[in-house]
Amino acid sequence: MKPVKVGLMGLGTVGGGTFRVLQKNACEIARRAGREIQIVQAAAREYDPDSVPGIANIEVLEDAFALVENPELEIIIELIGGYSPARELVLKAIENGKHVVTANKALIALHGNEIFAAAQKKGVTVAFEAGVAGGIPIIKAVREGLAANQIEWLAGIINGTGNFILSEMRDKGRDFEDVLAEAQALGYAEADPTFDVEGIDAAHKLTILGSIAFGIPLQFEKTYTEGISRIEQQDVIYAGELGYRIKHLGIARKTQKGVELRVHPTLIPERRLIANVDGVMNAVLVQGDAVGPTLYYGAGAGAEPTASAVVADLVDVVRALTSDPENRVPHLAFQPDELSDLPVLGMEDVVTAYYLRLKAADRPGVLAQVAGILGEAGISIEAMQQREPGAGETHVPLIMLTHSVLERQMNAAIEKIEALECINGEVMRIRMEQLDG
């Protein structure tokens, strides 16, 4: 059979890695796909030819719109990132009858519903495995490998930068700002680290995972997002003393009332496997009703790990080129006309347990006041630590772990606690999850 001709948009870290992997493993990939796969044209405004050996052998355009108009290309790989012009380019490629492979989680999270509808109408495929957790094949696992299951919940470390920062804070006793500066120097975090440390990147990925897990439309705007910039070294220490570790998790859970989609710092028991995923690595824990818990671990970013997922998608698309579009794997796991209208719950309607840190006056009766407010709100205390005051200090840290409660109740209780004369400053609140099967 004739080789499949592919166009590549973007020759940065992932684009260069994809080109290299296709060159290096060309024979093995052809054996798996049943046909040779050739990148015959690329588009990039700026790139380093020395970092992409062999790129001089193909035409590299500056105008990506010219590439998607090339009638010879059957598949377009989009690796330029961002919302625009990626959206316009992908929609134009689809309009021209081309299949698309992308690593652009932001594009899928915000515009996936529109893109998939256009692809369905034209009978083409949009593949996006590389958009979530880099080289870990988590999309395929949930969409296909766990197709027999009702997914009950999933929880993932899906941003390596945040995980690196929290790991360094725990292992080396460093402060957030210090580790963030190193992450930027190492290239793990951008000069503007907002997407990573404030949870936006993880929220893009969780939006996609939640849709595939529960068969709901993509709803990024309803995903609760909280970053790690408020985590202090003392919180990491106290959590460890209580047998927990702090991880920045994306959590999706199906309840009787609807679907939870939330990204936030989370205390999890240190004995859990996912609690021991450190550095820039990613992991996703998925609970299915038939299979039980399954854990997926690996590199969540980087040139060749992400390229591994891009090329795997490419192979899948090539295998399906001659198949009936109606019989291909649905983009969001469920048939398009079978997506559910389950509501996505607001954070106040979520039930979870909590770690609370208060700065309380060092005098009798304070604990009774705080416990009284929690009791009136129906909040039970599971564990508590009161720290010794330092020399000359009038306030001491008071640490509490609570049983599960509706977040709305906890919000009301915290507001009352912060209003007490004996409490100095804001209450530090970190949610807790047991993540047991």
Q: Among all residues, which ones are annotated catalytic?
A: 205
Q: Is 225 left (phi over 0), alpha (psi -120 to 50) or beta?
A: beta
Tokens representing residue 91 in the block: 């929609």
What is the distance between the alpha carbons of residues 133 and 282, in angstroms, rounded to a whole number?
6
* Total residue length of the chain: 437
Q: Find the distance separating the first CA and the last CA of the chain, reported in whole Å.
A: 48
Give me the torsion for CA of 298, 300, 302, 305, rounded to 10°. Answer: 50
Tokens representing residue 101 in the block: 């492979």
Strands 405-406 and 351-361: antiparallel
What is the distance between the alpha carbons of residues 315 and 307, in angstroms, rounded to a whole number?
12
What is the distance between the alpha carbons of residues 374 and 371, in angstroms, rounded to a whole number?
5
What is the distance between the alpha carbons of residues 9 and 11, in angstroms, rounded to a whole number?
7
What is the distance between the alpha carbons of residues 126 and 116, in angstroms, rounded to a whole number?
7
- 148: burial class by Cβ within 10 Å (0-12, 13-18, 19+)? exposed
| SS3 label, residue 74 | coil
- Taking alpha carbons only, the member of 33, 50, 54 closest to residue 42 is 54
- Taking alpha carbons only, the member of 286, 219, 205 closest to residue 258 is 219
Answer yes or no: are the C-beta atoms of 65 and 89 closer than 8 Å: yes
- CA distances 28 to 7, 130, 194, 304, Å, are 20, 20, 40, 16
- 221: burial class by Cβ within 10 Å (0-12, 13-18, 19+)? exposed
What is the distance between the alpha carbons of residues 262 and 25, in angstroms, rounded to a whole number?
38
Answer yes or no: are the C-beta atoms of 159 and 202 closer than 8 Å: yes
| SS3 label, residue 428 | strand
Check the CA dihedral 166-170-176-178 and report its sign. Answer: negative
